Structures are given as C-alpha cells and as structure tokens.
Homo-oligomer: A and B are copies of this chain.
Amino acid sequence: MKLRSTLYEELALEIEDMVARRVLLPGERLPSVRQQRARRGVSPSTVFQAYYLLEARGVIESRPRSGYYVALRAPSAAAAAPEPEASRPDGAPTSVDVSGLVFDVLDAARSRAIVPFGSAFPSPLLFPLERLARGMASGMRRLDPWSTVADLSPGNAELRRQIALRYQLDGVQVAAEDIVITNGALEALNLCLQAVARPGDTVLVESPAFYAALQALERMELKAVEVATHPRDGVDLDALAAALERHRPKACWLMTSFQNPLGSLMPPEKKRSLVALLAAHGVPLIEDDVYGELYFGHRRPTLAKRYDGEGLVMHCSSFSKCLAPGYRVGWAAPGRHARAVERLKLTTSLAAAMPSQLALAEYLGQGGYDRHLRQLRAALAGQQERMLAALAAHFPAGTRVTRPEGGYFLWVELPDGVDALALHQAALREGIGIAPGPMFSAKRAFRNCIRLNYGHPWEDSHAAAIATLGGLARAAVQAA
C-alpha cells in the first residue's frame, strides 16, 4: 500500500514541480491518462490518483469532457507570507485560568452559519460516515451480548489488536493488552495526566499550547510552564532541558507531530533526543498524537513513543480527527502506567461506547482506512494551499504564516498592535469564526496571533471571508 501511494504521489510531485518551474504553464492541458500510461507505464488509477491529489491542492483543474488543465492561479509558495519565529515565553510557572475565554470563543462560533475558520474540527464531509455506519450495522449483527458487559474495560479486544497492528507498522511495539480504549483522545490525555500528576504539580507544555491541555491543567489545579516552541520543528530542547532542571515537572504534555495550533513537526532525531532527555529526568511524556496521520509528506511522522525504552512515553490518539468524528473512540498506550490509566478509566467513566468500538474494529478489519487517509490528506493539503494563497493576497504586510506539513491549522502572526480578541469580535460580526491567540496560553500571550482552520472544502465564501478578515486586520494595523 505504501508502494502504490509512493507511485502516484511521485507523479503528482513531478507535475507540481513542472508547474512551479513553468515547464507547464497556467491554463495548459495536462497529458491524458492514456498518454501518461503509455509514456510512463503506470496504471490509469495511479494517474487518476495523482491528478485527484493535484486538483485537491489547487494545482490543476478538471474541465468537463475535456481533461485536466494547469490552474490559472496555481498557488505559489513564493507568494506566501514568511513563517513566524519561535515563541519566547518567560518560563515562569502559572496557574491556569483560560477556560472561560476558550468557552466564550467556542460558544460564539457554534452556529453553522459562521465560516468555520475558528473550528477545532475538519469538515465532517471529509469522512466515510456511510461506510462506518455499515460497519457498525454488521458489527452489531454479530454482537455477542455478553461483550456488552464483559468487554467494558480496557476495551474491545479486536479494536485493540487493530491499533496494536498499526503501531507495529509505524515501528512501535505496543502490546494490545497495554492499550486502553477511551472516550476520545481527550479522555486518554486527561487520564494519563491524572496518573502522574497531583494538584499543585507543574507540567510542561508548548508555547503556544493546545487549549484543551491548558483546560486540563486548570481543572486539575496544576501549574503550567510554557516552553519555547518553533513553528517548524516544535519544542526547543534547550529550553525544555532548562525547564526540567528548574521546575521539576511531573509530566510534559506535547504534540510532537502537527502541533495544535502551530502545526510544528518534530523531526525523528529531535523526537529521539526529547525522549532521552525526559528519560534522564524520569519525567513522563504525554504524547498527544491526534494529527499524526494527517501528513502531507511521503510517510507517517515517527512517534516519540518509538524511542521509548523506559515505558515513560504515554502515547495518546483517536479516530476523531482522521476517521470517525463523533464516535468518541480514542486510546492511550501509557507504557509503565498502563494499569494505573486502565483503573482511572474504570472509575471515571467505566468504558467507551461498545457500538462505536465495534464499528471501528469492523472498519479497520476491512482495510479501507489507508485509502481514506490518502484522500483526506490530499484534500487537506489542497485546502491549505488555497488558504495560504488567499492569505498572501489579502492580509496586511508584515503578516507571518506557518506552512505546516500536515494537520489542518494555520497559525497567523499579525503585525504588532493588532488585538486578536478584538479581531475575533469584529470577525464574528461578519459571520466569520477565528481562534484568537490568547486561547493558547496560560498567560494569554499571542495577542496578535490567530489560528485558522483549513479543514473544510474550499468554497467561494471562504475566499470572501479571508478577504474580509484581511480587511479587518489591515484596518487594525492602521488603527494601532
């Protein structure tokens, strides 16, 4: 499966490169499927997949009954804004009080009429909901009634086996018995945190941090230390080492691949160093990896868990962002804390829903997951290009934007003086949701930053919304 994926992706990359070097010009017709097949000896489906990917990325366009053409306004990396620099938090431990702000922002954007740039989710239209429902129906038909009580904890055996298999494909050895099925990744993360930290303890997080991590610290009365993080390769290990020495944290909660909101991806060697550093201090890593499958490159990013010789990496993920939104099935592979997490799960909410687990076990057993993921990644990559191009066209000079290699968030640093909370209010009045930077910091920093969600199929209304947002941002710059 990897091999086939490589073939069409290589073809797509080659064509993309030709467009970038203007070997293929805007509006020019691409070779037909038959021509590609004759010239390169690849199957029609490989060509179709490559063209589909390029279309999703906005590089080419199909014209009915005519063929594929280079897009007239093919997105160009050169036109995009520069990247933000690494964050520089002050590093002092902070009690967290950000939950109110987070809820206010999320509540304000609940209406379906709001342009969903502030959403935490990709579009549900990108998921195989019908196939999942069929999987559920057939799983339920074969249901052994006793499994409704006997398999409550730590979860459906077949699903845990499937998850262990995927770990193995990613080069990580996790026994099915050491996987705890949870009510989504959020519960997995919370249980892992509870297993290793008590009220008053300190926990290291990225800067900016995923707001749900901050909310978890707030709820458990833990202190946050935010550590400098680079938008491209993640948390700064020197800063992390200093924080470990100074604050003796009980845990480190990081998103090692496509961090929310930065989209940063720690390279394999950096992940290895991270795990070694934490092991030297005996500090558990809570590895939040819910976006790891949403990569735009050639292969899945390595897991920090892969380098875990001590059982100190508590790897958490779910199917909510990449397959089955609303099913609420996640898991933890908590290493040496597996039993503790399993027991916390039992006393917190007993078990995850059995029909959801059966549906996923059934779906994974049928083997369409990787195909779905390839389509999803292609769609997200294309949507990112569209949004980057729109931002370049409409946002004020001095704006910096990430260009993550996966996930569905852009982190936008606006010129100094722009107040993201005010921009959020102004955008809402125009029917546009955004996620203002202060949501992502215990100290409510990142006042001039916003997170934008490109996880929704690109529509004209989205282009218009980016233009409107850009106008609001330009006005804010002038007023500042």
What B residues does A129 contact at CB under 8 A? Answer: 140, 143, 145, 148
Partner of A136, one of B147, B148, B355: B355
Q: List B contacts of A216 (CB < 8 A).
A: 347
Q: Which residues of B contact A190 (CB under 8 A)?
A: 347-349
A241 to chain B, nearest CB (A): 30
Q: Within 8 Å of chain B (Cβ to Cβ): is A226? A: no
Stoichiometry (number of copies): 2
For A342, the closest partner residue in chain B by CB is B103
A205-241 residues with Cβ-Cβ distance < 8 A to B are 212, 215-216, 218-219, 221
A110 at the interface (CB under 8 A from B): yes
Complex CA distance for A103 and B154, rounded to whole angstroms? 13
Asked if A326 and B133 sit within 8 Å, CB to CB, the answer is: no
Contact in complex: A355, B343 (CB < 8 Å): no
A199 at the interface (CB under 8 A from B): yes
> When A124-B145, A136-B136, A183-B183 are in contact, do A212 and B347 touch as well, CB less than 8 Å?
yes
- Whether A219 and B150, one on each chain, are in contact in the complex, defined by CB atoms closer than 8 angstroms, is no
For A355, give its contact among B112, B346, B356 (CB under 8 Å): B356
A137 to B: closest C-beta gap in Å? 5
Is A346 in contact with B103, judged by CB distance below 8 angstroms? yes
Interface flag for A353 (CB, 8 Å):
yes
**Residue pair A351, B328 in contact (C-beta under 8 Å):** yes
Tell me whether A353 and B350 are in contact (CB under 8 A).
no
Please provide the 3 A-B residue pairs with the shortest distance between their CB atoms, ordered closest to farther.
A148-B326, A326-B354, A353-B353
A359 within 8 A of partner (CB): yes
Main secondary structure on chain A at its contact with chain B? Answer: helix
Contact A136–B127 (Cβ < 8 Å): no
A320 to B194, CA, bound (A): 26
Q: How large is the interface on A (under 10, 10 to 19, 20 to 34, 35 or more residues)?
A: 35 or more
Q: Which residues of B contact A352 (CB under 8 A)?
A: 183, 328, 353
- Given the contacts A112-B146, A152-B326, A328-B354, A349 and B349 also touching, CB distance less than 8 Å: yes
Interface residue ranges of A316-360 to B (CB < 8 Å): 325-329, 343-344, 346-356, 359
Contact of A148 among B110, B152, B186, B325 (CB under 8 A): B325
Residues of B within 8 A of A194 (CB): 219
Is there a chain B Cβ closer than 8 Å to A187's Cβ?
A: yes
**How long is the Cα–Cα vector from A215 to B348 in the complex, in angstroms?**
9
Nearest B residue to A219, CB-CB? B347
Q: Which residues of chain A from 78 to 99 have a CB within 8 Å of any chain B CB?
A: 99
Is A119 located at the chain interface by the 8 A CB criterion? yes
Closest to A351 in B: B328
Q: Does A382 sit within 8 A of B, measured CB to CB?
A: no
* Cα–Cα, bound, A355→B186 (Å): 18
In the complex, the answer to whether B147 meets A348 with C-beta atoms within 8 Å is: no
